[in-house]
Amino acid sequence: MITLDYLYILAGIVFAIWALLSALDTGNGKRFGNAAFWGLLAASFFFGGQLSDFANGVLVLALVGIAGTGRLGRSDPPTTSLSDRLALSEKFGNKLFLPALVIPITAVVGTVAYNYTPFGETGLFEERRETLILFGIGVMLALGVCMVWLKPPMLAPVEEGRRLMDSIGWAAVLPQMLAALGGVFALAGVGSIIGEIAGGIIPENNVFIAVLIFCLGMALFTIIMGNAFAAFPVMAAAIGIPVLVEDFGGNPAVIGAVGMLAGFCGTLCTPMAANFNIVPAALLELKDQYGVIRQQVGTAIPLWICNVVIIYVAGFLIWN
């Protein structure tokens, strides 16, 4: 059986290669900081499941220490020359995007085939992890297509990946860190505290106000923590499950899915979502580092209102 652990190992191998290449990159004055950062990340993927919670916490603190003390530098490894890229662009044009389509096609078609054909009876993939595993397989297939079709240098994929990740830096792992923070908050009982506060605010049997507070909490917690995945465990434990689902009998699928979208509206408005809002501004060398956020606020607010309406109508009026 192919389990999610295989993807962790694959990711660990990539990070380990980046660590090695970073250590050998004499053109980067901070190469050893990069090597240590990607090496520790590789170790977390290889051994995180075997390490204790304390050891994993120390590993995370080491990553934070490396990034926080400015030990990460930007690399510019040689892969293909500008003339090579221009030549490929002129030769293939928009066909260069075709390999990227291999990834979603593999994930979607593979998942449907696995769940709705006899193929699923083989038990090839870990239960409820089929899409993630097929997504990883799609990445490998797309990489193989590129290598056979375009014939780049053998190290081009990992070197280009390293260059891009070095450009993003610590923000590349921020979503995972913030999602873990949401889990910590949930285990610490933050959701119960928020639920008690909300219980004193929500009028009796007023579904709309409960939906409004749930969506507002999702957006605000996301703004604070930068990631809707971190906000969801807190707000689900506080209002989503005990109030909207259990007390008012709402549709859990609608509440969960659209509630996440309400949180993502907060993502559009916060610098804490650095990998979405601050990194692009830096990569594009915008004069205003908050320029991306300023452009997104006008979309985030009406979209959030739409999410409130969708949960209320589809999750309660139609459902009940």
| Mean pLDDT, the chain, integer | 90
Tens of pLDDT along 13-54?
999 999 999 999 999 999 999 999 999 999 999 999 999 989
Decide if 238 contacts 192 (C-beta within 8 A).
Answer: yes
Alpha-carbon gap, residue 15 to 168, rounded angstroms? 14
Predicted local distance difference test score (pLDDT) of residue 69: 93
Total length of the chain? 320
What letter does residue 94 receive in the DSSP assignment? G
Rg (CA), the chain: 23
pLDDT in tens, 96-115: 999 999 999 999 999 999 99
The mean pLDDT value for 75-80 works out to 84
Between CA 292 and CA 177, with CA 75 as vertex, the angle to 5 degrees is 55
CA distance 194 to 192: 5
d(CA 283, CA 263): 25
Residue-level pLDDT at 76? 86
Q: Which own/partner pairs from 293-301 qualify as long-range (CB within 8 Å, at least 24 positions apart)?
A: 293/268, 293/269, 296/268, 296/269, 297/268, 297/269, 299/268, 300/265, 300/266, 300/268, 300/269, 301/265
- How many Å apart are CA 117 and CA 114, to the nearest integer? 6
Percent of the chain with pLDDT over 90: 61
Sole residue written with tokens 């780049």: 152
> pLDDT grade, residue 289 (50/70/90)?
confident
Q: Residue 203 carries which DSSP code?
A: P
Tokens of 221: 């917690």
Give pLDDT tens digits for 122-158.
889 998 899 999 999 999 999 999 999 988 889 999 9
Angle between helix 207-225 and helix 174-187 axes, rounded to 10 deg:
130
